[in-house]
């Protein structure tokens, strides 16, 4: 099972295998074994500092004065690991399991890849992307529609402007969160009001009030910074980023957008912030390199290296933008990919989900693959579960495979005579040949595992059904 493999990999110090299990198989980093030990404990005990750091960054719990924290510190093989455990700072609740989407936006601002505007704030250069600023702020929308429309460099020399405050506001625009020193809050609030970010102003003022009250009730305690966290759900970021997805739609697809009340800036024939066109069956999608290249290595290579496949590249005569031909996608499937890249959500239907899964695999978008797997798991029945299980294995969707095995366990009486299931069992049995004698048949082993969670009588009857089935298939061992 994947959980057992995680423990073994942490003992061995196999960082790449652990990354695969956590990021692809979605194994919980805080899972416990029968000795109440966690993967982090074994990584500390065996002295694998890079692995310890990775587990901490991906949500492994190690708070001071707790059982897990003190145990890891006490058992750590080296002092460097103990220092890492003591000094590790959880910046926010999202650090526990930072979403890929928010991490992408954070890195987009931090690295400035494909930035198309530079702000010079009293000599300090800050890179940004017009498309994000326009979608997130009414003020920037108005400025880039008028005075700054053709500017790539914007000088900010107002005496009340502060480069650190400007950087903090940019961080909020990209990620809907920021952390700043108390001394800087007044400057940030002033700038947020200028940028018409009313939600940020109210949240900052609330945090500041709470911090001040806390200090007055805890003598000797000094709060030095204020943290504004992105809401777990219902925030403005996803809705604002959805504007960019809507901006990219060709006219033939505009009617598919529900309740689309776009500003005039987003209703132009050629969206002014777009910098690349994807041509899919003669439909032109006006998109942004920062998003496609930043979220997908496949699109980064395709867009950034026109010499690799020159027949897929040309220039748009009217706009001068690069045109990339996508012949492996249908417009409907590409629309799903586009929605995921811009706003991390997709509306599936049963007829398209498998096509989107293939496209996600081609595009190197593991998060979209997982969304497909989640949707497929909601469609399981006795007729399609074996197909879904094969799909899960083909596309390395560990959670979907597990859910398929759980479904088979729950509906074993209906599945026991299913010829597709018999074929799958025989294939798994064939894979055992040449391996250890103690190896078991994967699908049977997984189904039996889920049966152990059922009542004793129900599990006993179903385990007998499995035994009889294996005998009938000549696999009684």
Cα-Cα-Cα-Cα dihedral of 54, 59, 65, 68, to 10°? -80
Give the domain CATH number at 201. Answer: 3.30.710.10
Q: Which long-range contacts (CB under 8 A, 24 or more apart) does 120-128 make?
A: 120/153, 120/154, 120/155, 120/156, 121/156, 121/161, 121/162, 121/163, 121/166, 122/156, 122/157, 122/161, 122/162, 122/163, 124/163, 126/163, 126/166, 126/167, 126/170, 128/170
User: Domain for residue 477, yes or no?
Assistant: no
In this structure, the answer to whether residues 47 and 119 fall within a common structural domain is no
Mean pLDDT of the chain: 83
Q: Tens digit of pLDDT for each residue in 186-240?
A: 888 899 998 899 888 888 877 766 555 445 554 554 556 677 776 656 578 888 8
Last residue of a domain, one of 90, 121, 138: 90
Give the domain CATH number at 71. Answer: 1.25.40.20
Tell me the pLDDT band of 36, cut-offs 50, 70 and 90: confident
pTM: predicted TM-score of the whole model, two decimal places: 0.74
In this structure, the answer to whether residues 320 and 248 fall within a common structural domain is yes
pLDDT at 403 over 70: yes
User: Domain for residue 373, yes or no?
Assistant: no
Tell me the pLDDT band of 257, cut-offs 50, 70 and 90: very low
Last residue of a domain, one of 367, 390, 422: 367
3 state DSSP class of 156:
strand
pLDDT at 174 over 90: yes
Q: How many domains does the chain have?
A: 4
3 state DSSP class of 377:
helix
Q: Which domain holds residue 146?
A: 101-228
User: Domain for residue 375, yes or no?
Assistant: no
Distance CA 316, CA 305 (A): 17
In this structure, the answer to whether residues 329 and 399 fall within a common structural domain is no
In this structure, the answer to whether residues 250 and 341 fall within a common structural domain is yes
Mean pLDDT over 356-364 rounds to 96
In this structure, the answer to whether residues 167 and 245 fall within a common structural domain is no
In this structure, the answer to whether residues 335 and 247 fall within a common structural domain is yes
Distance CA 251, CA 271 (A): 12
* Predicted pLDDT of residue 82: 87
Distance CA 230, CA 239 (A): 13
Q: Exposed, middle or buried, 33 (CB in 10 Å: 0-12/13-18/19+)?
A: middle
Q: Tens digit of pLDDT for each residue in 68-107?
A: 676 788 788 888 888 888 777 543 334 433 467 888 899 9
* Predicted pLDDT of residue 1: 66
In this structure, the answer to whether residues 66 and 179 fall within a common structural domain is no
Last residue of a domain, one of 171, 200, 228: 228
Are the C-beta atoms of residues 251 and 263 closer than 8 Å to each other?
A: no
3 state DSSP class of 6:
helix
């Amino acid at each position: 099972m994947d959980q057992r493999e995680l423990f073994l990999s942490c003992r061995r110090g196999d960082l790449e295998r652990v990354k695969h299990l956590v990021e692809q198989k979605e194994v919980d980093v805080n899972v416990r074994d029968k000795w109440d030990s966690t993967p982090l404990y074994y990584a500390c005990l065996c002295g694998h500092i890079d692995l310890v750091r990775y587990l901490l960054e991906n949500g492994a719990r190690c708070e001071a004065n707790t059982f897990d924290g003190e145990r890891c510190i006490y058992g750590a093989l080296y002092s460097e690991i103990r220092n890492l455990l003591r000094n590790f700072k959880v910046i926010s609740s999202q650090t526990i399991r930072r979403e890929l989407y928010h991490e992408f936006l954070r890195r987009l601002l931090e690295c400035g890849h494909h930035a198309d505007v530079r702000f010079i704030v009293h000599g300090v250069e800050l890179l940004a992307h017009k498309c994000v600023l326009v979608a997130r702020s009414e003020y920037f929308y108005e400025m880039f529609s008028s005075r700054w429309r053709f500017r790539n460099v914007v000088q900010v020399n107002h005496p009340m402007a502060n480069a650190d405050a400007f950087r903090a506001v940019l961080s909020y625009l990209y990620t809907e969160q920021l952390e700043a020193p108390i001394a800087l809050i007044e400057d940030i609030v002033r700038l947020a009001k200028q940028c018409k970010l009313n939600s940020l102003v109210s949240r900052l003022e609330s945090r500041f009030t709470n911090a001040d009250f806390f200090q007055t009730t805890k003598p000797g305690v000094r709060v030095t910074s204020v943290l504004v966290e992105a809401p777990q759900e219902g925030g403005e970021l996803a809705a604002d980023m959805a504007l960019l997805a809507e901006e990219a739609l060709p006219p033939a697809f505009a009617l598919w957008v529900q309740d689309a009340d776009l500003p005039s800036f987003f209703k132009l024939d050629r969206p002014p912030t777009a910098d690349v066109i994807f041509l899919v069956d003669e439909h032109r999608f006006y998109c942004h390199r920062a998003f496609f290249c930043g979220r997908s290595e496949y699109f980064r290579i395709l867009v950034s290296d026109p010499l690799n496949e020159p027949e897929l590249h040309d220039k748009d005569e009217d706009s001068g933008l690069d045109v990339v031909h996508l012949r492996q996608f249908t417009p409907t499937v590409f629309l799903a990919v586009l929605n995921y890249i811009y706003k991390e959500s997709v509306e599936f239907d049963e007829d398209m989900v498998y096509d989107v899964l293939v496209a996600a695999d081609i595009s190197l978008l593991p998060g979209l693959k997982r969304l497909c797997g989640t949707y497929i798991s909601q469609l399981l029945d006795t007729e399609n579960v074996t197909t879904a299980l094969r799909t899960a294995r083909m596309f390395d969707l560990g959670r979907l495979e597990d859910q398929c095995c759980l479904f088979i366990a729950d509906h074993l009486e209906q599945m026991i005579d299913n010829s597709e299931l018999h074929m799958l069992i025989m294939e798994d049995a064939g894979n055992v040949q040449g391996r250890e004698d103690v190896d078991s048949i994967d699908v049977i082993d997984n189904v039996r595992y889920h049966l152990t969670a059922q009542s004793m009588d129900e599990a006993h009857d179903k385990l007998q059904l499995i035994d009889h089935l294996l005998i009938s298939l000549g696999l009684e061992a």
